[in-house]
A and B are shown apart, each in its own frame.
Chain A
């Protein structure tokens, strides 16, 4: 069990094409008493019915919810970015949403979450880039590692879509490149 000194302050996860399958391997592994907050950006179409929360909650022990503006970020809860809004972390460890322009055609943008979280949490942050068909998340993961945090990337050869983890691994040679099962085990151990 990790002690308080090494327990991460937060985990941020980005996923695009194939996200539901990948998150369905990771989030159900986290126990109900998980001690770290999880913030997740999935590229979803901008309509307002986000099925992802219900689908993931049905399989998970931790609470899964759609992030609300100015929520205090709590351990053991996974916050999903609402469709059509950027999900950001304030220095006060509150959530803020933004309606600013899409970044690399994406709103929510993984880079925006990762960069603001890197700013707010510094070395206490773990960033995870999963399956996807674009390069969102590379810049953000770079920012997390530059701020002293850790990077995990899904093995591109095992990913539903390879481009996103490939780009992240290329931008961040320090990141560990792991299978989904290994990422799940790593995160479980880090926050239990």
Chain B
């Protein structure tokens, strides 16, 4: 795979002095889905806005498909599609006209077959002649995507595409993203929803306080950072953890009938065998044993709090 988007030491300081980006560097491969996670004010939208030309960078460089976003802005922007966070649409225009406008703005000739394909894919074809103001919130979000796709971008930025939409539409969006990836489109999405990143991203970037804390393959990140926990359900509640089990650093939860043990999946010795032997030796009877992996959300919270400290 080749690099399609390259960001080098990108900084943005606003007029008021606030530093929204503190030297972000990032390489994005063609055809991948990168999810940028971060709390409010982390710099996610500033990063996207700067790449797309809405915000002027203070320093650093960005190239899209090898084209610098300042000196080669035409070629760079031609490759980019942007779905903004806010639903911003001309309310009195019809769906099809506003999508045609977006294509025209990028200098492309009219292509009614393509527009029809895009609108059908996003379930908007039946509403093509409806004024935008008559659409539901979810449909308006789809119109934003249709507009961003109208000039056939190679890189698509989705700035919190599913913020405030219902579960069904969110799943639809994920399907659309998967289809676009299959078409070879590189997708960078920002999201608050960890499950979104977990469900569709290839790589995950965590941004906080204008700094990119890490970018890593989602599965590797979960494997590296992930902890597993064993929940040992006892047949009867106990008052306290027996002294013989003190070395295992257990937590007693539930109705005092569950022992929780956390371990590192990559450690040479997980300590599970010894734990189970010690539990049996302490005279405790097991009812069940469950294992659970830590979610991306827990990893994210850990990283951000580490970054803050």
A joins B in a complex:
no
